[in-house]
């Protein structure tokens, strides 16, 4: 055997050994740690509530405003933050403050959180609670303003009211709560999501 062959021998031996290791490894089952647990997944997209306090402008005040800014109700406010909590068998396993996306937090909030739990029968509770309120001031809620009004709503004022009611209906309620007792095997997922039609948290059980 010449010198070149002797030099190539270690390389050939190492290559054969690597191929044998790859072959053996292909028959060894991989251990998936996630498959040993059950999971609760919180996932939804929804618009946060806008907290507003309003006052009804007088005719004199409206006359001082440019025509395109003549809104009967003058309101101030901000988009709410919420405390998200997940409790399993009476123990809080997840707690987080969430809010809408965007610089002003006025876009839908996108929630994706999950927690592992031991397989078996578990008492699960998810809550979403608004944490923001406006301080007391000379402003009132829109309902209070409307209740004190003696006049019949004009066409424009009626449109303003309808638009505010529409936005209110799109926002998440101040408090949501979902309780269930569920039996989950290893590798199974309990999905808790928000149903915008029912305006409630609902759950689905399924695989990964």
Q: Which letter does DSSP use for residue 25 in this model? A: H
Contacts for 201 with CB less than 8 Å, ≥ 6 apart: 126, 128, 176, 177, 178, 192, 193, 194, 195
pLDDT tens-digit series, residues 18-33? 555 444 444 444 444 5
b/e per residue 36-56 (b: at least 16 CB within 10 A): ebbbbbbebebbbbbbbbbbb
Whether the Cβ atoms of residue 208 and residue 187 lie closer than 8 Å to each other = yes
Whether the Cβ atoms of residue 81 and residue 203 lie closer than 8 Å to each other = no
Overall domain count for the chain: 1
* Residues β-bridged to residue 109: 46
162/178 Cα distance (integer angstroms): 30
**What is the value of pTM for the model shown?**
0.64
CA angle 116, 117, 120 (to 5 degrees): 145
Domain region containing 58: 3-206
pLDDT tens-digit series, residues 167-179? 666 678 899 999 9
Whether the Cβ atoms of residue 58 and residue 139 lie closer than 8 Å to each other = no
Q: What is the pLDDT along the chain (208 residues), one digit of tens a residue?
A: 555 555 555 555 556 555 554 444 444 444 445 678 899 999 999 989 888 777 777 778 777 878 767 677 777 778 889 999 999 999 999 999 998 888 777 888 899 999 999 999 999 999 999 998 765 554 445 455 555 444 444 555 666 666 666 666 667 889 999 999 999 999 899 999 999 889 999 997 555 5
Contacts for 200 with CB less than 8 Å, ≥ 6 apart: 176, 178, 194
């Amino acid at each position: 055997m010449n010198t070149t062959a002797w030099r190539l021998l270690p390389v050939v031996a190492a290559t054969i050994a690597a191929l044998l290791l790859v072959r053996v490894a292909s028959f060894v089952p991989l251990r998936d740690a996630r498959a040993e647990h059950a999971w609760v997944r919180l996932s939804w997209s929804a618009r946060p509530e806008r907290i507003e306090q309003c006052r009804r402008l007088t005719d004199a005040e409206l006359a001082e405003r440019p025509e395109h800014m003549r809104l009967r109700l003058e309101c101030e406010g901000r988009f709410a933050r919420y405390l998200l909590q997940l409790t399993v068998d009476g123990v809080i396993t997840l707690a987080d403050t969430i809010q809408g996306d965007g610089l002003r937090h006025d876009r839908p909030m996108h929630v994706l959180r999950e927690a592992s739990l031991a397989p078996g029968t578990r008492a699960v509770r998810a809550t979403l609670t608004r944490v923001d309120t406006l301080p007391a001031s000379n402003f009132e809620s829109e309902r209070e303003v409307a209740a004190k009004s003696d006049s019949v709503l004009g066409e424009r004022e009626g449109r303003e009211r309808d638009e505010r009611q529409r936005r209110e209906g799109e926002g998440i309620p101040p408090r949501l709560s979902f309780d269930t007792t569920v039996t989950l095997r290893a590798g199974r997922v309990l999905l808790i999501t928000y149903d915008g039609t029912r305006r409630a948290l609902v759950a689905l059980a399924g695989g990964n």
